[in-house]
Every structure is written in C-alpha cells, then in structure tokens.
Structure 1
Amino acid sequence: MWAFAIIQSPKPPEHIPEVPIAYHHGYNITACGIEKLHPFDSQKYGKVFHELNIQGQYIVPSKCPRSLLIAVHPFWFLLSLCYSLQIFRAIEVPIFFLPAPVLRWRVLNPMLLATHGSIIAGCAAVTNRKFGINLSGGYHHASSTSCGGFCIYADITLTIYWIRRWYPEAVKKVLIVDLDAHQGNGHERDFIKCPDTFILDFYNDEIYPGDFIAKEAIRYGDNFNFEHTDEFYLEKLEIALRHCIKVFRPDFILYNAGTDCMQGDPLGNLNISSSGIIKRDEIVFTHSIENHIPILMVLSGGYQKQNAATIAKSIKNLNSKFNIYT
C-alpha cells in the first residue's frame, strides 16, 4: 500500500446540508468543444441534476483544497499537472496545444470540484448514518501517483483517507464496490495489501486498463462480457454483496456506480439494460441499508447520451425506496 503523507488534518465540514447529494454547476467539462472528441458525455452531471429537480439545500462543493489533496497526492504529481501533455495523456483528448491556465479552468477545476464533492458527500453518509451521492466523481483509474482513463485526481482514495481521519471511531473498514465496466486500477494500486479495505470489482477483463499489478488488490472479483444478461449479472451481484458484507463487516461502502456497463456503450462492451442498472443500484443500497452501513455513491464512467436519463431514473427510484432527498 502506498504510504500516505502524514499532515496536520484540516477540520471536517461543520455543516452538511439536509440533502446528501453533491452537485456544482462547474462539474461539466468543456474545452472549446474539443471534449467532443472523447465519447464521454462531459455534460451528463448537469443533465442528471436537472432531471432530479431536487428540493431543499444540497451539497455545493468548492474546489478541493491543496491541504486535502496532499494527503494522498505528492507535490511532484500535482506539479506535473501544470503541463498540458500530462493532462492529454490522462484524458485522451488532443489538448496539448492549449495553455495550462485554460486547461486548469476547463478540465482540472471541474475535477477538483467533483473530488471535493465525493469527500463531502462521504462525510454526509457517515454523519447521517445512511447515504451520500456525488453527481460526479468516481475517478477510479487515478491513483496517488498516476492518472489516466479520463481520471486525474484519486477521489476514491482521498474520500476514504479523510473519512477515516475525521471519523476514526465510525469508519475503519471500507468496502469498495466498483461496478464500472472497467477495472478500478487506481484505487486498487493505492490499497494493495491494505487489510482494512476490501475491493469488490465487477468488470470486463477484455478492455482497458488490464492492470495485472492492481488486480492483486481485488478480494472479490468477477469478469463479464457482452453475452451476460441482467439476470446473470444481478444474481452474481447479490451473491457477492452478501459474501463481502458477511466476511468483511465493513463500516462504510464506497459505491463506484459506473454506467458504462449499459447496452450500447462504445467502451464498456457489456449488455446490462437501463432497467438492469436501476435494479443494480437498488440492490447495492438495499444491502447497505439493511446492514446499517453508510454508503457513498459516485457516478464514474458512462459514454452514451442516454446515460444521464438512466442515472436520474435510478436515483429517483432510490429516493422512492429509501427517502434520500425528500
């Protein structure tokens, strides 16, 4: 496991809004239209938020302060993000000719907002002993010292670090449930041989990233392909969650709810229907709530225009079942 820096801890947020959902209008990523060269729908966060029509005060994060970032990301890594080529390599869009201030404004700042959103929504889940949802985040290809796959900051690792630091009596053992179609190699590299972090990862082994070193951190994994149906996938998920919770007994669940496993996704190459995604999320939340385990949901990948509608329907379904924001 990477040795996280020991720093003087900033204080946890003093006030968590009544609605445990994090969103900022700056989540959406735009860079002079160049973002359209990547299949990722960088506008999906705003679409989901407007579909939800949230009533009441929700979490509005600021840009993640450096005092939080340096707990996980070393200074040399943060310094490397001043160079356009480093960001180009991570998000796979030809933006290396854009000046660094533009990239920080249009690419890094939205991801800093989303990273802080994950941390604060995680705090909301712990303090209300139920749930938090960040309408962005889930940068599961980013580790403490590397970035890639449209992921810059390791918001999953950062969230786990800070909730453990801020709420040591409440959170020691964390279960990461990663259901994005891609292997979550970033957080896996950060938590290799960490006994207090249990990683469940369902992914397509035939696509990016194929990180064999990171796979050593997966304590319950399963591979899926285009032939697997909703019924098969959801049955496997039920079995996996029952096993992981019974064996590990986590204090907190971080749910990486990628929707790139949905039918037609150009990168995920899996075959889960929209209704299957909605049922998947309900299953994860049901196991969490029935076992009295706080859960944070982050959105992660999903590369179709219809993803936003499916995510919004799923969160509305969670709200109807568990009264999240009404």
Structure 2
Amino acid sequence: MPHTTQLYQHVPETRWPIVYSPRYNITFMGLEKLHPFDAGKWGKVISFLKEEKLLTDSMLVEAREASDEDLLVVHTRRYLNELKFLFERVEGISRATIIDLDAHQGNGHERDFMGDKRVYIMDVYNRHIYPGDRFAKQAIRRKVELEWATEDDEYLTKVERNLEKALQEHRPDVVVYNAGTDVLEGDRLGGLSISPQGIVKRDELVFRMVRSLQVPILMVTSGGYQKRTARIIADSILNLYGLGLIGPESASVSAQNSDSPLLPPEVP
C-alpha cells in the first residue's frame, strides 16, 4: 500500500522560497545563552528581513514536521537522512551536489554518502580544526583544505575555481549549499578570517554559478558562533534578492561577476 504523507503542500507563488518556523529558535530557561552557538539566530535573521520590508509572515513557508512513518520510508529506525528522502520521493531528483562551505569538514554527510555516485561533495574547510575525519574525506570529490586565518581574496578565488570545476564534473538535479558563517573573522571555532562582505560575496558567487545552470539550490545557514552572524545572513539574503537571484519569481542570472555593490563599507 502506498505511503500516505502530509509533508507536501501547495505553496502559492506569492510566497518566498524561505522556510522558517519559530520552533527553530531553541530556548531552555536561559541556559542556551551559555552555548557558543546563537540558538536564536534564525529568528533574528527573519526580524532583520522584516525590518527591511523584504517580507512578512504571510510570505514565509513553514515546513511541516515529518512523522516517523515519513522518515521510515527511506530509513531504518536507527538512522535518518534528508537528502536520501529527496531521491526516493521527489520526481526528477537523481543526482545531487553538496557544496559545503562551513569552516568545519562535513564528515556527517560524507559518511552518509560514502560510495554513493549520485552525490558529489565539494568541501572547503579549515584543515586544522575538528573533526579531522580521515575516513570521511574519502567521500569528498573536490576537497579544498584551508590554513589558519585564510582571508577573502584567497578564499573566494578557491571557492570560485573549484565550484566551477565541480559543476562541470557532475551536473546535478539539485544543489544543497551549506553556507556556514563560522568562516567569519574572529570566530574562534572556525579559525578563518573572512570579512562580512566576503561572506556575502561568497553566497552571491555560489548562487550565480548554480542558477546559471537552471539548477535549484537549497541554502542552509549552518554554523556561525558570533552574535553578528544573523545580520550578515540577512544582508546576504537582501543582496541575493537585489540581484534577482532569489525571490518568488527570480530570473536566470549570468554566472559572471557582478559590479553591483554588495554591502555598505561597514557591517554592524
């Protein structure tokens, strides 16, 4: 008997391709403030975008929670994985690329898709920090290891050059983009030195190259252990919108570099 699910819903064209729920913001009697990760980051991003008059609550997409029965379509009870769900349930998805630009090696999805030819992984990370998973590195198809305190010019050049080659080597049906902000200068856990403007430019670069191929892209915001990352994520979304790379009816955009200003000279 076919599996019945309530996960899928009609999304009106007037809504933005931004998935958010207040439940993303984790609180526990104030103890979350003791953790280096800003557990309320996503709510702050949405607040910034509302202040800029970019969107309202009615324009957001709130995802429905998957039931155990939904997840067990593609997993055992011991293990679950979202991208595998796409392969099994979404028509037309048979090849995927993961672009992991978080400061840490993405050993989780690397172990998940070890030996799976459908998934191409490009990982750009600080080679000196956690997790240093040598076994998982075998799953990386395009590996870019960075040194301590890598700055904008070197970082953006390596991201652009390697992403271009990655998209040539494996033409995906969907791209999952891990847009970690722990690459930001001053992040003690990331150990890199990318400016706020550099992060905004990085996201623009990825979206331009992927959208030029008419490939859908899913961006997740991932790591970032400073309070100011929420503002930077919001600024990046505003920049992508201003360039026509995201929005209810975002058009195809050339992969060439833009001369449009990304941000004011100073970012709070």
TM-based fold match above 0.5: yes
Which structure has more helix as a fraction of its residues? 1
Output the CA distance in 2 between the equivalents of 1:212 and 1:68. Answer: 33
SS in 2 for 1:201: strand
1:226-266 deviation line (CA, Å, top 9, x unaligned): 34220111111111111011111111100011100110112
The equivalent position to 1:164 in structure 2, one of 87, 97, 109, is 87
Moved more, 242-251 or 10-19: 10-19
Amino acid aligned to 1:36: K
Output the CA distance in 2 between the equivalents of 1:12 and 1:27. Answer: 18
Q: TM-score, structure 2 length as denominator?
A: 0.84
SS in 2 for 1:254: strand
The equivalent position to 1:261 in structure 2, one of 183, 191, 201, is 183
Counterpart contact for 2:210–2:217, Cα < 8 Å: yes
Structure 1 residue 64 and structure 2 residue 61: aligned? no
CA distance 1:237–1:323, change in 2 (3 Å): closer
The equivalent position to 1:10 in structure 2, one of 5, 9, 12, is 5
Structure 1 residue 274 and structure 2 residue 196: aligned? yes
CA distance 1:276–1:164, change in 2 (3 Å): same
Q: Which residue of 1 aligns with 2:229?
A: 307
The equivalent position to 2:208 in structure 1, one of 286, 302, 310, is 286
Counterpart contact for 2:211–2:245, Cα < 8 Å: no
1:71-92 deviation line (CA, Å, top 9, x unaligned): 45532x4xxxxxxxxxxxxxxx
- Unpaired runs of 5+ residues, structure 1, are 1-6, 78-143, 145-153
Counterpart contact for 1:257–1:300, Cα < 8 Å: yes
Counterpart contact for 1:180–1:259, Cα < 8 Å: yes
Output the CA distance in 2 between the equivalents of 1:298 and 1:9. Answer: 27
1:70-114 deviation line (CA, Å, top 9, x unaligned): 345532x4xxxxxxxxxxxxxxxxxxxxxxxxxxxxxxxxxxxxx
Deviation at 1:57, TM superposition (A): 2.4
RMSD: 1.8
Output the CA distance in 2 between the equivalents of 1:9 and 1:239. Answer: 44
1:160-201 deviation line (CA, Å, top 9, x unaligned): 222222323x21110000000011111111100000100000
SS in 1 for 2:243: helix
Output the CA distance in 1 between the equivalents of 2:195 and 2:225. Answer: 14
Q: TM-score, structure 1 length as denominator?
A: 0.70
Identity of aligned residues (%): 43
